[in-house]
Amino acid sequence: MDLLSTNRPGARISVGVSATLPRLGLSALFLCLFSGLVLIFYYRPMGNVFQNVEEITTLVPYGWFFRQLHFASGQLFVILMLIHAVDHFHRRRYRLYPVGQWQRLIFSLCLCFYTLFTGFILKGDKESFFAARIFMNIAGNIPMVGEPLSRLFILPGENLFFLPYLYHCFFLPILILYLIRTHPWFFLGIQSLLKTLPVTLAGIIFPALFLGCVLILPYVEKAGGKSGFKKSRLRIVSRGLHWLIVLIFLLYAFLTLKAAFWEP
């Protein structure tokens, strides 16, 4: 039975949920942008940022409300967008997209995650400094372009919050709005390989492979249809790519949990 068929039981409910998620996400996005516009008048990315955030929360009229609204609506938007992408991936709805629309959805989702990260840094507490240092260390492990790339996103020293402030408040929201407007047995066999792979390097390789496989999904089926592939073979290739994406995600999750909890 075709997963895209609307005649099967429960299809109308699933289609209704799939159509509701983007609308809820846009509502959360507009709430996040509105509250962010209010907070931007009081936030200063220089000096004692943590004290500035506390002043916004305690001294600015309704500052605590706008801060909590900004945080909650931003988190809700990313969660709804992630569910929307997973739903379309699971039901293979990307086959119905025009060329480039699925890629815009994935890129906008990545930008949303980085926007959350920059917002986490802008709090100015100890966790923010730790997160910035971890990001700089991971980016610095990229061969040849690691250090320039890390300085492109975060500047060390007193200007630590300046670039995240620019990205979080100006560049990333504009890019996201533009993109939205346009849309365990196996681990035992490769444990020796995982031990030889540094965790910091794996944090670069596995997400890159994951994004690469996700982005080429629509082109695989369209190229297979043009080249005269049989439907059975094309289905095997498509399903194989699906399971490869799931496998890469599980490997990365396993390696991350292993480094966080099992290794000293």
Residue 177 falls within a domain, yes or no? no
Better-scored residue on pLDDT, 191 or 147: 147
Alpha helix segments (H runs only) across 41-91: 49-58, 63-91
Residue 31 falls within a domain, yes or no? no
pLDDT band for position 43 (cuts 50, 70, 90): confident
Residue 139 falls within a domain, yes or no? no
Better-scored residue on pLDDT, 145 or 118: 118
The pLDDT score that the predictor gives to residue 90 is 78
The pLDDT score that the predictor gives to residue 172 is 85
Q: Would you say residue 169 has pLDDT above 70?
A: yes
To the nearest 10°, the Cα dihedral for 134, 137, 139, 143? Answer: -160
The pLDDT score that the predictor gives to residue 191 is 46
The pLDDT score that the predictor gives to residue 61 is 85
Long-range contacts of 231-235 (CB under 8 A, 24+ apart): none
Better-scored residue on pLDDT, 40 or 22: 40
Residue 92 falls within a domain, yes or no? no
Long-range contacts of 86-95 (CB under 8 A, 24+ apart): 87/17, 87/18, 87/21, 88/18, 89/214, 89/217, 89/242, 89/245, 91/3, 91/4, 91/14, 91/18, 92/3, 92/4, 92/238, 93/4, 93/18, 94/217, 94/218, 95/4, 95/218, 95/221
The pLDDT score that the predictor gives to residue 255 is 58
Q: Would you say residue 8 has pLDDT above 50?
A: no
Better-scored residue on pLDDT, 89 or 35: 35
Residue 208 falls within a domain, yes or no? yes
The pLDDT score that the predictor gives to residue 12 is 46
**pLDDT single digits (tens) 107-143:** 888 888 888 888 888 888 888 888 788 777 777 777 7
Alpha helix segments (H runs only) across the chain: 11-39, 49-58, 63-91, 101-121, 126-140, 146-153, 162-166, 172-182, 185-189, 191-196, 199-215, 217-226, 231-257
Residue 103 falls within a domain, yes or no? no
Residue 124 falls within a domain, yes or no? no
Residue 145 falls within a domain, yes or no? no
Structural domain span for residue 193: 184-264
Report which listed range, 17-21, 67-71, 208-212, 250-254, is most confident: 67-71
Report which listed range, 105-114, 131-140, 185-194, 211-220, is most confident: 105-114
Tell me the pLDDT of the chain averaged across its residues. 71
Report which listed range, 13-22, 144-153, 229-238, 248-257, is most confident: 144-153
**How many domains is the chain partitioned into structurally?**
1
Map tokens 């670069």 to a residue: 204
Q: Taking a C-beta distance cutoff of 8 angstroms, is the pair 115, 172 a contact?
A: yes
The pLDDT score that the predictor gives to residue 130 is 81
The pLDDT score that the predictor gives to residue 24 is 80
**pLDDT single digits (tens) 51-100:** 888 888 888 888 888 888 898 888 888 888 888 888 877 777 777 766 67
**pTM exceeding the 0.75 threshold for the entire prediction:** no
What b/e readout covers 55-92, taking b as 16+ CB neighbours within 10 angstroms? ebeeebeebeebbebbbebbebbbebbeebbeebbeeb
